[in-house]
A and B are shown apart, each in its own frame.
Chain A
């Protein structure tokens, strides 16, 4: 007989409950029902006996439910006692007699509307902290870079080159592929729509100017934010979690100088190069589509491209690249340092880092557009 039972035996005298069977976690749900559907046991002040002699096995769950039964009758003003308690259950029941004496705090079931408003409010106030964090990181990197200017030997050159290899050289194939495709798509769309009013020759102007001024740098920055910014955040975040950054600090080293400056520097060097390569790939893709799809021979494409674009367009694009890199680097590193102890927070900060840097890259691009328009570039 394994199944737990709890039966009421009223033989004139005090009410007696007889518990028997396996009072273990294996029968958790039926046990809870047994104890949950408690019959009322007579009038006030009466003795209630719980006969536990028939229990074959008992674990913490079963013992707690017995204890709960006991407390239930105590709360009703009765005097419950255990009958026939086997010696080897005594320790466990004694242990559970002392627990759960303080009432549990109820689960916080907040109003969803208020919770939504609260999170909006917190996010708004949080913006100030974000801005401060960004400026602090900018300042720290600036100070560290100035320190390097005075003492060039303090620059972690090996580390910087290593990161340049990772975020620059290793990123080249994917950047070339993506920008090549984007250039091709822009050219195809241009030819398809411009053809309706016989202006398909102007597709070269569109591709040239769009790619060099905006698309090249923007696509590359977004890709770098997703590819390298996230890696920076995750690396610094797990170093923070494992107290590696604290270890560096206690050795008298500045984490900004050792970890962050080489990373940001690598990014600032890599992004203009990737932007240049990406722009060339996009123009190549555009030219290929113009040839294969629009029937414009490469000679004509190049000749028209020469007329359509000037060095200014190229400059506008490439000047933006290091600033984009700086923004991505600052956001990635500051989010990395904001990681707390849990795996969840590492994931959260990595997501935040990518979302925030892509957003800032686009905002910065808009501000550059206004700036260049007003100085006539």
Chain B
């Protein structure tokens, strides 16, 4: 399925982003290949979410170039923005579900705006998406305020997948979930990624997610990507931050638990 002649899913070159006189991202470059799950790690407050939000166009960049599926991202052209919005889905850290709509309406919202289909088919598709992320059709009647943290994440994922996007951005998908739910969620992401052929860009702190589902991991430190590659490659990286990240106390406890 992977075609080397096709452009990468996301290509970021020499990207600089800052607020005031503080520079958060400093000439950062990163490629995300089609059909892979890329995990992004970095210190808290180190600019992971800033990178994600810059790629999806929520934060203006100072300089640099971002291409999605080979197309340069240009916020000034509304039709291009609309077209690109159909090709990606975003799972925000807190879910960002529309609180005045039911779960089903939340999932239907992007479809209702973009597709010209009947109400019956909308209902069937929304239920299909909800069942694909492991919820029941009864959950569709609930409001976001009635959901648990794990369910919120699932609904947000269903909404992100509503238009069958090619790229899915996940901002800390497993944070705030218990280890069992987090594991289930990882499996879910990986299954959906395989069935739907998604490209996944995932910001995470979950070492288990990095080990189990990420094809490649990128480490962000000092505003740059200091290491990128399969997890095995990062484990032997000599960069001091990457070393302390993967060989700190918590990582060691995890590693010993696995062995």
Chain A residues engaging chain B, CB cutoff 8 angstroms: 24-25, 28-29, 32, 36, 59-61, 64, 68, 88, 91-92, 94-96, 98-100, 102, 104, 107, 340-345
Once A32-B117, A102-B137 are accepted as A-B contacts, the answer to whether A344 and B127 lie under 8 Å apart by CB is no
Give Cα A164 to B164, complex, Å.
54
The 0/1 profile, CB within 8 Å of A marked 1, for residues 113-142 of chain B is: 011111101011101110110000100000
A24 contact set on B, CB distance < 8 A: 164
B118 contact set on A, CB distance < 8 A: 32, 36
A-B residue pairs in contact (CB < 8 Å), sample of 21: A24-B164, A25-B114, A25-B164, A28-B116, A29-B117, A36-B118, A59-B164, A59-B196, A60-B128, A60-B164, A60-B196, A61-B164, A64-B124, A64-B128, A88-B197, A92-B196, A100-B124, A340-B145, A342-B145, A344-B99, A344-B100
CB of B223 within 8 A of chain A?
A: no
Residue of chain A at shortest CB distance from B130: A99
B144 contact set on A, CB distance < 8 A: 341-342
CB of B44 within 8 A of chain A?
A: no
Which single member of B115, B131, B191 contacts A28 (CB below 8 Å)?
Answer: B115
Give Cα A36 to B144, complex, Å.
33
Give Cα A91 to B195, complex, Å.
5
Give Cα A24 to B119, complex, Å.
18
Residue of chain B at shortest CB distance from A60: B164
Interface SS of B by simple majority: helix
Chain B residues engaging chain A, CB cutoff 8 angstroms: 1, 99-100, 111, 114-119, 121, 123-125, 127-129, 131-132, 137, 143-146, 161, 163-164, 191, 194-197
Interface SS of A by simple majority: helix
B115 contact set on A, CB distance < 8 A: 25, 28-29, 61
Give Cα A94 to B132, complex, Å.
11
B127 near A100: Cβ-Cβ < 8 Å? yes
B195 near A95: Cβ-Cβ < 8 Å? yes
A91 contact set on B, CB distance < 8 A: 194-195
A61 contact set on B, CB distance < 8 A: 115, 117, 125, 164
